[in-house]
Structure 1
Amino acid sequence: MGEIPCILSIGAILIAFKCLLIPSYTSTDFEVHRNWMAVTWNRPLKAWYTESTSEWTLDYPPFFAYFEWALAYVAHTIGFDECLQISKTPIMSSRILVFQRLSVIATDIFYIAICALYAFKSPRLVAGIPKKMRKNAQEACFILLACLQALLICDSIHFQYNSMLTAFFILSMYFIDSGRFLLAALTFSILLNFKHIYVYYALGYVFFYLVNYFEFSAAKFLNNFPKAITLAISLLLPFAFSIFPFFHVAGVEGLQNIATRLFPVSRGLTHAFWAPNFWALYNFADLILYRILSILKIGKFEAPTYTSGLVQEYSHSVLPNVNPIGTLCLVVIASVIVLTGLVIRWRKGKDPIFNFERIFRKTYSRPVDFSLFAIFSALSFFYFGYHVHEKAIILITVPMTILAIKDPKYHRHLIHLSCIASFSLFPLLFTPFEILLKYAICVAYFFIQLTFLKRYTRMPLGDLLPWRHIASWVVLAIVEIYNTFLHKWLLSDRLPFAPLMVISVLTSIELTGFFGSLIWTTFADGIIEISWQKATCRLREQLIRDMTYSVQTVEDEQDVQIVAGVDTSASSSNPDMVYVSVSFWKYPDLQHLATISDTRILRLPYIPQYLAVREAEVVADFVRSVIAERPELRPDVILCDGFGQFHSRSCGMACHVGALTGIPSIGIAKNLALHDVYETVGIDKRAKVDQFVDSCREIFKSNKSVPGFIPFDIVEPVKLNILRMGGSMSGVFVSAGYGIDLDLATTISAKTLLNNTTCEPIRAADLESRRLVRENFDGNRDKIE
């Protein structure tokens, strides 16, 4: 599907579906926005933020007030004046319902257009993605953003204008990806003047601009002053247009009225239904402590009021009370810690001040994407913020969707976050018709998301849907069904808030796990992750060694009919995305049968001497999938570019691949890294190794005939044989992998050296994977790994 047909078809389907939702449930937000239209239309500008006839007073920044005035003007022009009455009690009619629904749908067109602009025109969205996958990636980004279930529930059913506001944020991200930082700042400032909750992103912008917009080298430091001035103008200009009219008509008092409405502190720590963040867990812990201490009759505590379902200030029973300043401090501390980590991750290896290469063992070839800064900033505010509404989770899901498209290792995080968002938003819709509707929308979006992400990268379902995530969704589904269909018949009189509290606590636990998992994945090249992966790898290697030495799958050369060579290649622009190739050949006549390749995502970091941690499972999974589709190609032996049992831990890459596939394997390496050999045989035998290597070179140099191979007999038992390649001074180094002994492995390897020069199955797989990288990545930027 082309860009225009995709945009038009998806847009038409969404608009048609939203029109069908016009008669659905009406929340209090209908009256809120209707009253705001009435206030802005009937009252003078200086009274907008003081009018209080209705309890739903205007509490959004001035740009949104101007937007409400514009809607009021349209309503008056087309004869919908019943929308514009100031009333102490709510006003609702079918005409008001239609007008307000259509106003949301009209702004949704703007949102869909911005999603299309970002998905199909952002230069960084597909920068590190193979060419053949870029179209799928762009379509996935557009569809997942345009059809976001959280926006559909909050805007088209519950009723708000979040899509329009989100469009400004996505437009700002588009400008950042395009390198137009001043326009990005201007757009974000406009957004803040529409709805101040988007301050959640502010620290992310600050840290991102510090490392991407300003220059701190001595030679260019003075360039920062004009940059800072132009940036300040871009940020302050929308504020000037926003608040100057109020200052002009009411002076400082007009600004004070706006500030009082925008930042009320009388709403309490948590909303009526607790958002899934730290304070839900805090409230729950306080409630449990209160119940336990009351039963034990230890002390006297006031009964908690935060389970009343009302928006109000309250005190905790046992735990210390929490005020807005305390939550702000936690937000800033959490944000600064994770955002500083992103800065260090981006700067290391590029500036001596931030060079942590000896600790982290990896240098990134590209900057950290802005979406990560936005996610961690919004997540910190959402997790520790004061009076957070559950709908604010949209601020995390939008940049998370974009990040997952840019970097597929975050796919599982996106799916999990989307499910958490769905469950946390379900209580917003509670009437009978909307119950089935909200379930249908969220389940449909889950499968749309899963389908397009899998279509984009073809990752295994196990990577996208970990069993722990599935188990948590099942538990949440059980609680949700109980809350919706059973609780009102059983315990609603005694414990009306109980199931909502359980949903809130469970989703809070899941969001906490998401937060931790996101940090773990983002900073996965740290010391803790490396230590953990090393320990896991060593445990698996012990199991493989036990199987390898006790299981002999292939004992005779006559049992070998097909051999396969495997190899991978990656681009320097995105080293976590690789092409895996497997080449199948008849044995022993080396008739080529097929070479099959595909892309895979490497989710774990590279660790020296632990290559299998990063690649073995990916390669083995690909081989299994190929054999499942074409069983006639199932090889009797797999040839791997690397070592097998000749390894510092007697379990190299070939052993892992063989054990994971259940197919005998052989390691054939082109080079013998001496420092690895010293570690394998022991430092005390270093001189013997050097002497052995020199003698091999002399033999090859003199062109003396070598009967078969040269065994590496420095240590017993022998685990490595050296096969000469043609008339060169080099050789290939053969070691048995899984389910085969060294003699048979050497015999088979010798017969795969086509023209006595190179192992043809491995060479074919290597050439194919390299060709695909050259063709599918930008050749002027990418270097084959």
Structure 2
Amino acid sequence: MFWCIVVLATCFKVLLIKSYHSTDFEVHRHWLALTHSLPWSSWYTDTTSEWTLDYPPFFAWYEWCLSLIAGFFDPNMLVLHKYGYLSEGTILFQRLSVIVSDFVLVYAVYVLSCYLTNHPVRKCSQYKARWKSPTTIFQVLVLANMGLLLVDHIHFQYNGILLGILLLSVSHILNGRHNWAAFWFIFLIHMKHIFIYMAPVFFIYLLRNHCIIYNGDSYRWLWRKVAILAAIVLAVTAVSCGPYVLAGQTTQLLSRLFPFKRGLTHAYWAPNIWAIYNFTDKILLFIALSLGYRMKFFLGQFTGGLVQDTVHVILPTITPRITLILTVLAITPCLVKLWKSAGNPLHFVRALVLCTSSAFLFGWHVHEKAILMIIIPHSLLAVIWRKEAEVFAFLSTVGHYSLLPLLFTPKEIFLKYLLFVLQTWYTVNHLRDLFHAQLLHRREILYLSGFAILSFYEVFGVYLLPFLKNYEFLHLMMTSVYCALGITYVYLKYYIAFLFSSAANKRVTF
């Protein structure tokens, strides 16, 4: 079953080679040319194009490795200039590079599948139909995930390899190989630094379960293990960033990796607290203007959807420091609970999901695609506990719907809705059959029915109400805010359940 899923998913990805691609396609094409044409010392200082390199050094070297093969498809794609470049060879190579890199995710899923199948308290032999087993459902939820198909294989990015490294690190945690878990996680951070949101969870878990022994009265430090973990982290960081530090480019590297001037929200508002905050500010502004108040403000279109257009006029302005404080406050109770839940690695996965959700909801300039960092790890828990499946069914539906506006061209409308319907149907029905229980409450079903209205508006709204052409980003704003309400609801529900769950719940049954 595993290899059938892999083959079918790969074949479908091949069918998407000719589909729409976003500006991220040209971004990565430019990075291929950049790393191929210039020495490493110029990668983070070059400004030939507006698509400057803003990923950590390991990903830059990954692009360099890809450039060694890209020339066989079309040497012109490796020419560095400020203009974009597109050809059949470029499309074929970049699409295939994502498909091939996804096999890192395939390997990680295989390792976690072995854990689910072989762990003494997780035997799956009771399921006569293999396609109904928890292991197979987990494989489908990850390897055929519609979010990854939309973001990586249509919109274009390399999330598959990154999430594969994350799941590989998680698998080492579950199997007690803590040094390897630390290695792959710090390696991942130097591939894409957004995963640093998860670092507190790894730090607390490894500190409590690897570096310290609690004998009932006091804690005893295992300094040899502490030294090994520290050496792993420092060695990987030195290999990645050391050359740039020695070259005197530390400040330049940090300015590329952490561009705080980009604004509170991305051009497409991620469905988080700040989407609700921005929307509230706009509504209050509209009310103030309707009441005759005069005020100076910079506002392009009321529903412009651009970072530069999102100016807080009524509500206080949010700074990076505020988002950092809110994120730290949000993850602290979760980390305290994780510390008290020593000995249960699956509580680690729970905490990972919650801390990532906290960063998604309260972080600075969060991208909508970051929802996959929550959904993919949570897929593992969804096939183990019924309560986790209830949360996952709702979160998966809302999170995946929030990604649909990424594809706005007419020829992709049917495809994206078809993938969403299939993903939702498979998730809800197979998890329901797995646990023999309804997963969604009536209030949740009522909320999800609102997606039908949003979808109808996107497809037919302009034809029924032509004046809506003047508000091209209105649907985008409505989707972001509506999905933000759903994600905030399920976040609070899950967080409360985690904090009040028994720390002694160490046995897992299906």
Return the TM-score normalized by structure 1.
0.61
1:513 aligns with one of 489, 492, 499:
489
Report deviation, 1:138.
Answer: 1.3
Q: Which amino acid in the other structure matches residue 90 of structure 2?
A: I
1:105 paired residue number: 99
**CA distance in 2 between partners of 1:50 and 1:120 (Å):** 45
3-state SS, counterpart of residue 258 of structure 1: helix
Matched, 1:21 2:16: yes
3-state SS, counterpart of residue 102 of structure 2: helix
Q: Which amino acid in the other structure matches residue 411 of structure 1?
A: A
**CA distance in 1 between partners of 2:164 and 2:308 (Å):** 32
1:655 paired residue number: none
Asked whether the equivalents of residues 266 and 313 of structure 1 are also in contact (C-alpha less than 8 Å), the reply is: no
2:317 aligns with one of 321, 324, 330:
321
2:474 paired residue number: 498
Matched, 1:175 2:172: yes
Report deviation, 1:202.
Answer: 1.2
Matched, 1:283 2:278: yes
Matched, 1:308 2:304: yes
Larger Rg: 1
3-state SS, counterpart of residue 308 of structure 1: coil
In structure 1, the gaps of 5 or more residues are: 1-5, 348-364, 527-570, 578-598, 600-785
Q: Which amino acid in the other structure matches residue 448 of structure 1?
A: Y
RMSD over aligned Cα, in angstroms?
A: 2.4
Matched, 1:201 2:198: yes
Matched, 1:484 2:482: no
Matched, 1:474 2:458: no
Matched, 1:43 2:19: no
2:113 aligns with one of 119, 122, 128:
119
Report deviation, 1:37.
Answer: 0.4
Q: Encode CA deviations 1:261-319: one digit per residue, 9 max, x unaligned.
A: 11111211011111010001111111111111221234625254584232448531011
**CA distance in 1 between partners of 2:308 and 2:116 (Å):** 44
**CA distance in 2 between partners of 1:126 and 1:279 (Å):** 44
Asked whether the equivalents of residues 338 and 348 of structure 2 are also in contact (C-alpha less than 8 Å), the reply is: no
CA spacing shift, 1:64–1:302, aligned 2, 3 Å = same
Report deviation, 1:328.
Answer: 0.8
Asked whether the equivalents of residues 303 and 471 of structure 2 are also in contact (C-alpha less than 8 Å), the reply is: no
1:772 paired residue number: none
Q: Encode CA deviations 1:521-569: one digit per residue, 9 max, x unaligned.
A: 323459xxxxxxxxxxxxxxxxxxxxxxxxxxxxxxxxxxxxxxxxxxx
1:274 paired residue number: 269
Asked whether the equivalents of residues 204 and 376 of structure 1 are also in contact (C-alpha less than 8 Å), the reply is: no
Report deviation, 1:60.
Answer: 0.2
Asked whether the equivalents of residues 125 and 405 of structure 1 are also in contact (C-alpha less than 8 Å), the reply is: no
Report deviation, 1:418.
Answer: 1.0
Report deviation, 1:43.
Answer: 0.8
**CA distance in 1 between partners of 2:356 and 2:252 (Å):** 27
Q: Encode CA deviations 1:362-418: one digit per residue, 9 max, x unaligned.
A: xxx956521111111100100000010100001100121111122222112111111
Asked whether the equivalents of residues 124 and 177 of structure 1 are also in contact (C-alpha less than 8 Å), the reply is: no
1:240 paired residue number: 238
3-state SS, counterpart of residue 68 of structure 1: helix
List aligned pairs for 1:61-72, cutoff 5 A. 61-72=56-67
**CA distance in 1 between partners of 2:13 and 2:448 (Å):** 27
**CA distance in 2 between partners of 1:40 and 1:285 (Å):** 43
1:362 paired residue number: none
Return the TM-score normalized by structure 2.
0.93
3-state SS, counterpart of residue 268 of structure 2: coil
Asked whether the equivalents of residues 283 and 316 of structure 1 are also in contact (C-alpha less than 8 Å), the reply is: yes
1:96 paired residue number: 90
Matched, 1:8 2:3: yes
In structure 2, the gaps of 5 or more residues are: none
**CA distance in 2 between partners of 1:129 and 1:378 (Å):** 29
Report deviation, 1:255.
Answer: 2.2
Q: Which amino acid in the other structure matches residue 361 of structure 2?
A: Y
Q: Encode CA deviations 1:664-721: one digit per residue, 9 max, x unaligned.
A: xxxxxxxxxxxxxxxxxxxxxxxxxxxxxxxxxxxxxxxxxxxxxxxxxxxxxxxxxx
**Which has the higher mean CA deviation after the structures are superposed, 293-302 or 278-287?**
293-302
Q: Which amino acid in the other structure matches residue 237 of structure 1?
A: A
**CA distance in 1 between partners of 2:371 and 2:345 (Å):** 26
2:151 paired residue number: 154
Report deviation, 1:97.
Answer: 0.7
Asked whether the equivalents of residues 53 and 87 of structure 1 are also in contact (C-alpha less than 8 Å), the reply is: yes
Q: Encode CA deviations 1:152-186: one digit per residue, 9 max, x unaligned.
A: 11001101000000000000011001101111011
Report deviation, 1:517.
Answer: 1.2
2:440 aligns with one of 436, 445, 465:
465
1:396 paired residue number: 374
Q: Which amino acid in the other structure matches residue 152 of structure 1?
A: L
**CA distance in 1 between partners of 2:326 and 2:481 (Å):** 20
- Name whichever structure is richer in strand by fraction: 1
Greater RCO (CA < 8 Å, at least 6 residues apart):
2
**CA distance in 2 between partners of 1:572 and 1:499 (Å):** 44
2:349 paired residue number: 371
Q: Encode CA deviations 1:435-482: one digit per residue, 9 max, x unaligned.
A: 11111111112222234323433x23xx21322222222112211221
**CA distance in 2 between partners of 1:129 and 1:512 (Å):** 34
CA spacing shift, 1:366–1:188, aligned 2, 3 Å = closer
**CA distance in 2 between partners of 1:257 and 1:385 (Å):** 23
CA spacing shift, 1:341–1:499, aligned 2, 3 Å = same
CA spacing shift, 1:469–1:7, aligned 2, 3 Å = same
3-state SS, counterpart of residue 266 of structure 1: helix
**CA distance in 2 between partners of 1:140 and 1:220 (Å):** 43
Q: Which amino acid in the other structure matches residue 272 of structure 1?
A: A
2:226 aligns with one of 217, 228, 236:
228
**Which has the higher mean CA deviation after the structures are superposed, 407-416 or 220-229?**
220-229
Asked whether the equivalents of residues 35 and 64 of structure 2 are also in contact (C-alpha less than 8 Å), the reply is: yes
Asked whether the equivalents of residues 123 and 177 of structure 1 are also in contact (C-alpha less than 8 Å), the reply is: no
Matched, 1:333 2:311: no
CA spacing shift, 1:314–1:473, aligned 2, 3 Å = closer
Write out the 4+ residue segments of structure 1 that deviate beyond 6 Å after TM superposition: 123-126
1:660 paired residue number: none
Q: Which amino acid in the other structure matches residue 497 of structure 1?
A: F
